[in-house]
């Protein structure tokens, strides 16, 4: 006999007191911490508990008694459902304050190291339409909101293109508008959707692994012309291949703004394209980003900071922290397409970039060539395998190391090699202050933190970048 599900309590007139991790807020009820999404400090709400553990609970707000003076009206119709931009309801200046606090708390509590005064966070001038890249998923399982379920809403079309719903891997929220990118992304996404509806294209089913339309990636250039669209298809027969080309031709004819129209045939179980060829249907196989007079080739597999304007501010901080005079050998770890490496090359004797993705390294070499930069070297491979004592013996001991690792931070072997190399300065750029703090504590045996500069790359989210300067003790 199945165990009867325990009824979870309704907590009435609870005051939200603080911001927590992952974009949630928190309240305290008796001795229990309650995590709540889509509310802000100062809100007084009734909370329906959805999950309860011994000393904490997760809940949703079901009734507002008082709205906080910090609350702002969300500008997106999909707020609260799609899972992105969770802080739209919070005044932007308050978002910055909490991001500053996040950096301070992580470095203090996790790093447990001596810190200088942390500089005020650099806010983003653009808080809407600031992204240069978005990815949308096609699915035959349209997500229905709780309201739609209760109203028994029936759609003629259950195929959808949009964002995955958190916690529902095979369901997609149909997106009509997204404010993260220039409106061209809305026009292209909705136009392709309507064409697919009209002509009977099949949308992908993640469970059965059937369906033709899988994914759409759109990249725009911040300055000048440049618009890349990469369509991802599952193609199993010549008829589907013909339909694919018809859709691509429709896109090429409808949006002349597209300078790079590309496609991938992906018959695998996942949407990753790193191991698959990308074909050009129209235009170039790349777009060109520009920064401080430098040009950067960005391909369909290339990493480039998704907030171009704020990336410029981030890299200026990194360059300033590096303290280059023109005589330094710089190692740029996790170099991507060589953006930072090329950006600082004018102030260095030589820059050596290392990156895992071979295609990104090829782009990095091209980026040096098209900008007439001849003092860079780039290597592809796993960081922990490439960066070792033998590598340093061959190419020289770095005076400065700039490192911009993924969210997981640096591998222990990489940290050990850095400690052996003993550069005078380390500039650590991080998209995750928690793993950054962990790595700083390991580097603390030889280095002191001299400067800390948080940077907001993603308004209306809890994410924050942080740049730390370490100097040899």
Catalytic residues: 431
CB burial class (10 A; 0-12, 13-18, 19+) of residue 282? Answer: middle
CA dihedral 95, 100, 102, 105 (to 10 degrees): -150
Q: What is the DSSP string of 84-122?
A: S-TTTTB-HHHHHHHHHHHHHHHIIIII-----PPPPPB
The answer to whether residues 383 and 334 touch, using CB atoms and an 8 Å cutoff, is yes
Spatial separation of the C-alpha atoms in residues 347 and 289, rounded to whole Å: 21
Distance of CA 81 to the CA centre of its chain: 19
Element (H, E) at 350: strand 350-355
Q: Is the dihedral of CA 124, 129, 133, 136 positive or negative?
A: positive
**Which of 218, 217, 232 lies closest to 267 in space, CA to CA?**
232
Spatial separation of the C-alpha atoms in residues 200 and 173, rounded to whole Å: 20
Residues in the chain: 473
Q: Which two tokens stand for residue 330?
A: 């710089």
Spatial separation of the C-alpha atoms in residues 62 and 12, rounded to whole Å: 10
Q: Which residues pair with 235 in a beta bridge?
A: none
Phi, psi (degrees; rounded to nearest 5) at 299: -95, 180
Spatial separation of the C-alpha atoms in residues 221 and 227, rounded to whole Å: 6
Q: Which residues pair with 470 in a beta bridge?
A: 426, 449
Spatial separation of the C-alpha atoms in residues 406 and 421, rounded to whole Å: 22
What is the residue whose two structure tokens read 């969300």? 74
């Amino acid at each position: 006999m199945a165990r009867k599900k325990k009824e979870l309590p309704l907590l009435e007139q609870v005051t939200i007191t603080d911001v927590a991790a992952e974009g949630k807020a928190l309240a305290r009820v008796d001795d229990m911490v309650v995590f709540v999404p889509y509310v802000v400090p100062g809100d007084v709400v009734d909370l329906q508990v959805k999950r309860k553990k011994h000393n904490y609970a997760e809940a949703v707000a079901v009734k507002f008694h008082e709205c906080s003076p910090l609350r702002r009206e969300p500008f997106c119709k999909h707020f609260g459902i799609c899972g992105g931009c969770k802080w739209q309801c919070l005044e932007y200046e308050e978002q910055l304050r909490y991001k500053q606090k996040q950096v301070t708390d992580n470095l203090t509590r996790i790093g447990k190291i001596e810190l200088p005064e942390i500089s005020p966070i650099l806010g983003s001038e653009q808080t809407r339409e600031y992204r240069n890249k978005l990815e949308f998923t096609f699915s035959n399982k349209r997500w229905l909101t709780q309201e739609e379920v209760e109203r028994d809403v029936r759609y003629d079309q259950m195929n959808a293109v949009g964002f995955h719903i958190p916690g529902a891997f095979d369901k997609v929220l149909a997106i009509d508008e997204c404010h993260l990118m220039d409106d061209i992304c809305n026009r292209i996404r909705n136009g392709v959707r309507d064409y697919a509806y009209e002509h009977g294209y099949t949308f992908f089913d993640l469970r059965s692994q059937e369906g033709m339309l899988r994914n759409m990636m759109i990249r725009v250039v911040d300055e000048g012309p440049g618009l890349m669209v990469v369509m991802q298809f599952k193609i199993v027969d010549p008829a589907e291949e013909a339909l694919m080309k018809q859709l691509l031709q429709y896109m090429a004819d409808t949006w002349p703004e597209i300078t790079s129209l590309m496609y991938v045939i992906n018959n695998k179980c996942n949407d990753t394209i790193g191991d698959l060829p990308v074909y050009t249907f129209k235009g170039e196989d790349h777009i060109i980003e520009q920064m401080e007079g430098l040009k950067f080739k960005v391909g369909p597999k290339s990493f480039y900071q998704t907030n171009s304007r704020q990336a410029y501010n981030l890299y200026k901080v990194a360059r300033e922290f590096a303290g280059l005079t023109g005589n330094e050998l710089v190692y740029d770890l996790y170099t991507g397409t060589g953006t930072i490496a090329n950006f600082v090359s004018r102030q260095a004797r030589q820059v050596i970039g290392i990156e895992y993705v071979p295609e990104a390294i090829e782009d990095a070499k091209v980026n040096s060539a098209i900008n007439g930069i001849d003092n860079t070297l780039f290597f592809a491979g796993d960081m922990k395998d490439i960066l070792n004592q033998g590598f340093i013996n061959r190419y020289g001991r770095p005076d400065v190391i700039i490192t911009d690792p993924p969210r997981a931070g640096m591998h222990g072997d990489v940290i050990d090699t850095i400690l052996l190399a003993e550069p005078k300065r380390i500039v650590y750029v991080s998209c995750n202050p928690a793993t950054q703090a962990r790595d700083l504590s390991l580097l603390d045996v030889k280095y002191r933190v001299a400067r800390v500069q948080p940077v907001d790359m993603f308004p209306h989210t809890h994410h924050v970048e942080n740049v730390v300067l370490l100097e040899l003790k």
